[in-house]
Structure formats: C-alpha cells, structure tokens
C-alpha cells in the first residue's frame, strides 16, 4: 500500500489565544490532512514555558523560541546563554523567530539589530537553524546575515518570505532556505511566486504562520496547520512537480535544516 504524502508546517503559533479552545482538534486536523509535524514558535521568551508545554503534550509538535523584532524594544534583551540553555530541550529545534521589521517598528531598528545578533550567536553556538522574520529591512538584513555568517557559519530559514528578490538571492547564496506561506496563493502575490519559482526546490519549506495568512480558499479566516497543504499544492505547481514529489522534497529539506526534529522522529 502506498503511503500518503506528508508535509511539515515549519512555522505556526499554537500558543496564540486563537487556538486556546480547541488545540487538540487543531493538531488532529493537521495530521489528518497530511501535516505530520508542526513547529510552533515562541515570540517572547517569557512565554517559552507555555510553548514548550504544547510541544510536550502533542507528539507531532516541535518548538522554537526567540524575541520577535516587533517586541525587541519592549522585552528584555535575550541572552546567548539563555537561548543555549533552552535549546537543551529535546523538542527545541530552532532559534527565533528573530529578525528586523521596519514596517511597523522602524523606530526600534537599533535594538532589533542587537537582538538579531544575539540570536545569530545562539544559532552559531547550538547548531540549530535561525528563524528569520524580515519586513521592509532587506538591505540591513542581508548585511547582518552576511556579516554573521562570515564570522561563523550557521543555518537559517527566511520564514514567510515576502521580501524582495535581492534578499532572497543573498539568503540562498549563504545556503539558507526560503519558507512559503499562504501569501504565495494570493492573486496579487506575483512577485512572491516568481521569487519562489526561481529558487531551487531543495531550499524551500512550507508554513502557515497560523493563525495568520490563511491561503486560498480560506483567506480571511483563521489559519491553522492543516491549511499548509494548500500552500504546498501551489508550490508543487510552480515547480511542475506532482504533489507527492514536492511533498517528499520539502520533507527532505525540513529534515536537512531541522536535523534535531528529524532525529527526534527517528528515535521516537
């Protein structure tokens, strides 16, 4: 019997209040849809215990933690040793999300840069992938990623990629990955689709960023991990691949980047 294709939602926020009343059902719907794993992201380190508890309670769920750039000015600055200590948990698989957001919070650009560099050092020390949020900050982001990588290599995913082609090329040149969200399914997102179509399929992940950015046909509704299948179907079409082939490719990509999650699955 042929096994049905499975994918991983590489970035969601299962601790958000949107899921409080039905989290077990949300996870179950994802698995039923073929989303065998989810990485839930902690955006404020003070919330790490709650995010960790979700990963501990649900076998398909892993987690990462960091300080979101839009919170960098309001939260205590993360410390490298703090992130390294958190990374010892067996289901902690990434550093972040961190990054730069000048769209809403340009006034805190300097503290965002400082925070990003802390997370880069933690990724370098732990060997875990850095999870990057970047919005309206392409030039600074490319510069800081290049600088950090030159000092000591690290792995990275540009989550929910919707920035310009130059930053995409800079990230790919460093060996990083681009993650496709539901944005790519929106009719007006031609540039985003073009960027992904030009990227090597072996460097692409899929995600929901749930509860945000639900793909077609759920646009405007609460997003959830099960819906990442719709984004993966679009990606398969972009690459001229059947869904099973693309699903297998993106799983290889995820396992290569999030090696700790892949190893946990093998040992489970």
pLDDT for 4 equals 85
Under a CB-based contact definition with an 8 Å cutoff, are residues 123 and 130 in contact?
yes
- The pLDDT-based confidence of 3 (bands split at 50, 70, 90) is confident
pLDDT digit string, tens, across residues 98-125: 999 999 999 999 999 999 999 999 999 9
Mean pLDDT of 48-71: 98
Nearest alpha carbon to residue 208 among 27, 86, 57: 27
pLDDT digit string, tens, across residues 6-30: 999 999 999 999 999 999 999 999 9
Nearest alpha carbon to residue 186 among 158, 217, 159: 217
Q: Could you tell me which CATH number the domain at 7-267 has?
A: 3.20.20.140
- What is the DSSP annotation of 190-213? HHHHHHHHHS-GGGEEE---TTS-
134: three-class secondary structure by DSSP: strand
Between CA 26 and CA 268 the distance in angstroms is: 22
Between CA 240 and CA 192 the distance in angstroms is: 17
Average pLDDT along the chain: 96
pLDDT for 265 equals 64
pLDDT(267) > 90: no
Nearest alpha carbon to residue 182 among 220, 149, 208, 155: 208
Q: pLDDT over 90 for what percent of the chain?
A: 97
- Give the residue extent of every domain in the chain: 7-267
Helices (H), the chain: 23-33, 48-57, 80-86, 102-105, 109-126, 138-151, 165-173, 190-198, 228-238, 243-257, 259-267
pLDDT digit string, tens, across residues 65-79: 999 999 999 999 999
* Dihedral sign, Cα of residue 166, residue 167, residue 170, residue 175: negative
50: three-class secondary structure by DSSP: helix
- Find tokens 């297998």 and name the residue: 248
Backbone angles phi, psi at 44, to 5 degrees: -140, 125
pLDDT digit string, tens, across residues 136-178: 999 999 999 999 999 999 999 999 999 999 999 999 999 999 9
37: three-class secondary structure by DSSP: strand
């Amino acid at each position: 019997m042929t096994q049905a294709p499975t994918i991983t939602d590489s970035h969601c926020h299962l601790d958000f209040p949107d899921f409080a009343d039905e989290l077990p059902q949300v996870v179950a719907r994802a698995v039923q849809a073929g989303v065998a794993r989810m990485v839930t992201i902690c955006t404020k380190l003070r919330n790490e215990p709650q995010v960790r508890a979700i990963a501990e309670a649900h076998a398909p769920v892993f987690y990462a933690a960091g300080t979101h750039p839009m919170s960098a000015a309001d939260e205590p600055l993360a410390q490298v040793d703090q992130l390294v200590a958190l990374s010892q948990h067996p289901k902690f698989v990434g550093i972040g999300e961190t990054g730069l957001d000048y769209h809403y919070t340009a006034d805190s650009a300097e503290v965002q840069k400082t925070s990003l560099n802390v997370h880069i050092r933690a990724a370098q020390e732990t060997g875990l992938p850095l999870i990057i949020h970047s919005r309206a900050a392409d030039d600074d982001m490319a510069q800081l990623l290049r600088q950090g990588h030159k000092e000591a290599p690290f792995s990275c995913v540009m989550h929910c990629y919707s920035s310009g082609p130059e930053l995409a090329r800079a990230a790919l040149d460093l060996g990083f990955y681009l993650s496709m969200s539901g944005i790519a399914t929106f009719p007006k997102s031609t540039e985003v689709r073009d960027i992904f179509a030009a990227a090597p399929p072996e460097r692409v992940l899929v995600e929901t960023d749930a509860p945000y950015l639900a793909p077609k046909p759920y646009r405007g509704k609460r997003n959830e991990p099960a819906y990442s299948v719709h984004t993966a179907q679009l990606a398969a079409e972009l690459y001229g691949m059947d869904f099973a082939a693309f699903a297998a490719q993106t799983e290889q990509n995820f396992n290569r980047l999030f090696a700790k999650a892949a190893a946990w699955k093998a040992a489970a």
